Amino acid sequence: MPGHDIIVVGTSAGGVEALTHLVKNLPPDIKAAILIVLHVPSHGTSVLPRILKRAGSLPVSHVKDGEAILVGKIYVAPPDYHLLVKKGHVHLSRGARENSHRPAIDPLFRTAARAYGRRVVGVILTGVLDDGTAGLKAVKMRGGVAVVQDPNNAMYPGMPSSAIENVYDIDYVLSLAEIPGVLVELANTPVEEEENFVPEQMEYESEIAELDMEAINNDSRPGKPSGFVCPECGGSLWELQEGDLLRFRCRTGHAFSAETLLAEQSDALEDALWIAMRALKEKSSLARRMAARLSDRNHILSAERLQQEAQDCDQRAAVIREVLLKSNRHSVAELNEVPSPEEQEAINGE
């Protein structure tokens, strides 16, 4: 009888340090496969396997599409690919970003839960915002085990806090130092497998992460129209409600938690403000040039009108500038994500 032998781990900001500690304290004979998603830039170079290999005694590598799942091995999602779990093997997909990330945590957790049910352990470590919450909910829905780093012990408490607030039946909330021992214990605990029903929404979201065209073209998708548009592609977003957890997904597969969608809309608003300020300054500059030409030709009234128009544009641009400055101060104070040296190494290479 197998144990909890499929361990899926998701982390973001501060994740390299947390993963290094986790791997360092796992024994080489652990009876589980460990699959990891760390948020990294899509076009960056990740050397996370090299870092984790140095830290511990388990073999670590970036996933190869179709690779068999073996106990005692660590699988790391490569940049710009979702790591998905099938029965017996892993799959890489360039499916739509979820929570603005690829790789994202939710697709890994969701597909692992679909394939392995009660054998899955979902682990949420340090990170900002709330990627992983919906995936951990899927793990619990299929009878798996939920482990969350104590937010008070996390470098960035956003992801652990979101999981605790929205996944009501979490099994363990632990300090980072306590997690390795619990994972070993769970891997050694026999699990009686059951043919649990896989919810329709979980099937749909797993298939759409694989770019399954039948799922993409399905007009009877779960949820209801939200009235919002997708920040990624401009398509209509459908609202998905799971208990108190509110999420959104568009036709092509881009998915957002409410918190991530709000952050994306904030970015879009800032972009619009910069565009507006640029347009106002260009109009001001052109109006002044035209006023100077008219003044040289003694068209004094027309020149004065254009000078006034230029001043109005400058005043409006100054208002927008103040809004942008206040927004930037807020971002620096509350959402600063300066990577540690280890994170920078994992993103940029040694």
Does 12 participate in catalysis according to the annotation? Answer: yes
| Active-site residue identified among 4, 5, 12, 106 | 12
Contacts of 312 (CB under 8 A, 6+ apart): none
Give the strand pairing for 6-11 and 33-38: parallel
Distance, in Å, from the CA atom of 143 to the CA atom of 193, rounded to the nearest integer, reads: 10
Residue 143: CB atoms within 10 A of its CB come to: 17
| Active-site residue identified among 4, 5, 39, 254 | 39
| Active-site residue identified among 5, 106, 130, 131 | 131
Long-range CB contacts (within 8 A, 24+) of 340-346: 340/14, 340/16, 340/17, 342/16, 342/17, 342/20, 342/51, 343/13, 343/14, 343/15, 343/16, 343/17, 345/16, 345/47, 345/51, 346/16, 346/38, 346/40, 346/46, 346/47, 346/48, 346/51
Asked whether 38 and 48 are in contact (CB, 8 A), the reply is yes
Beta-bridge partners for 236: 229
Q: How many CA atoms lie within 13 A of 227 on its CB side?
A: 0
Asked whether 39 and 15 are in contact (CB, 8 A), the reply is yes
Distance, in Å, from the CA atom of 130 to the CA atom of 256, rounded to the nearest integer, reads: 10
Q: How many residues are present in the chain?
A: 350
Catalytic site positions: 12, 39, 131
